[in-house]
Structure 1
């Protein structure tokens, strides 16, 4: 049996140093196999964002092990963490995090530029992704001229630019109207149907049902539920 792409062992994380502070995660363990699409549900303050930040190397655990695709993320220095995020992680955010003074194409190219990919190869990859995601006609446009759903498609293209083994999505439909949210659900569902590994933090139960092969729920920093799911995008 192959090693899990995500291995989290006995992790605890507290942001307040006082003895009375409730941990954001408490003795938390989780394994995720390559090709799984994991939706993380739970109320505000349950530890969802902390879990995503630990996987991305944006936070460090107080104790425990965070190993992603064989990399001990909890042991890495800042320079190594930057390389890890560049090569292993694609991130999609609630508010897109696009640069408004760059064109759509230039936003998508940023990860390749940071990785030192050749200009011709990078532009071919960007064009391929924009075409695949149905937004190639906006390559020369600026993000501010696009709808929310279109901007999130640009963000997904940017996240996929370096073909990372793991895609992280933090409330990807949270800032969208219902029509744009439906577009993004369809997009993420298509990526899951292709077998891409996804960790999705969301309050959107419809998104979880449509896209996730597995759903967990966190309560007070602990695992309260862990169930398998047949994504609607795959079941059709």
Structure 2
């Protein structure tokens, strides 16, 4: 699972992020993630994990410093530019799936392509490819509420990959799952990374990080306190 690419897909330089408290959410943060890596970000609540994820997703901006993803300075994008960036360059997977319950599995997966203006035929072909790849073709016409947690997370991953983003962001992707479904999602993330997908995973779950990540960093009080290769990369 080690990256074979040499160019960084994420470059964070001298980033500080402060809100209304005295303690910064992120402090003098520097980080590079190279193409093909699977990076797990660990840390207690309040350590800065969510802030880091939001900066990389273009949902927030640093107080100081620069954030570059896939060669694009996202810290200086407009609101419209940030939305376009998320449509085209980032796939996002959440703890509670964020699927639309009144749409079928197939239509949930198609949604990012429709927002991006992908031609209908190409979009349906891509959706069918993803449903097959992730083993959920039989659920294409089902509604999310009829699926297990692991199956819903697979639908969420398919949706996130619809526009072939160079970066997949996963925020506690097994946090709402039972142990069997969590193991299923762990295996899926491993398979995706082995196929070359760059992944940044934010989690409290050290077992998930050890199983899925090629590299692990730990945050404390907005600073990186540990940066190591994971057991699977050794």
Give your verdict on TM over 0.5: yes
Shift of 1:3: 3.4
| Structure-to-structure mapping, 1:49-60, within 5 angstroms | 49-60=50-61
1:57-116 deviation digits (Å, cap 9, x = unpaired) = 001100100000110000100111111111100000000000000000000001100111
Q: Identify the residue that residue 5 of structure 1 maps to in structure 2.
A: 9
Deviations 1:124-160 (A, max 9, x none): 1101100110100000000000000000000000000
Deviations 1:179-236 (A, max 9, x none): 11010001001111112100000111111111101000000100000001243xx88x
Partner of 1:32: 33
What is the distance in 1 between the residues matched to 2:126 and 2:145?
23
Distance, in Å, in 2 between the alignment partners of 1:205 and 1:229 is 10
**Matched position secondary structure for 1:94:** coil
Matched, 1:115 2:116: yes
CA distance in 2, matches of 1:14, 1:222: 13
1:60-79 equivalences under 5 Å are: 60-79=61-80
User: Unmatched 5+ residue regions in structure 1?
Assistant: none
Measure, in 2, the Cα distance between the counterparts of 1:35 and 1:150.
25
Q: Distance in 2 between matches of 1:120 and 1:73?
A: 31
Structure 1's consecutive aligned runs of 4 or more residues displaced over 2 angstroms after TM superposition are none
Give me the CA root mean square deviation. 1.2
Equivalent residue for 2:200?
199
Matched, 1:15 2:19: yes
The aligned residue for residue 225 of structure 1 is 226
The alignment's TM-score, normalised by the length of structure 1, stands at: 0.95
Q: Tell me whether 1:152 sits opposite 2:125 in the alignment.
A: no
- In the aligned structure 1, how far is the partner of 2:39 from the partner of 2:122? 31
**Which aligned pairs between 1:35-184 and structure 2 lie closer than 5 A?**
35-184=36-185
C-alpha distance in 2 between matches for 1:2 and 1:132: 27
| Counterpart Cα distance in 2 of 1:12 and 1:3 | 24
Q: CA deviation at 1:41?
A: 0.3
Paired residue total: 230
How far, CA to CA, are the matches of 1:193 and 1:3 in structure 2? 18
TM-score normalized with structure 2 length: 0.96
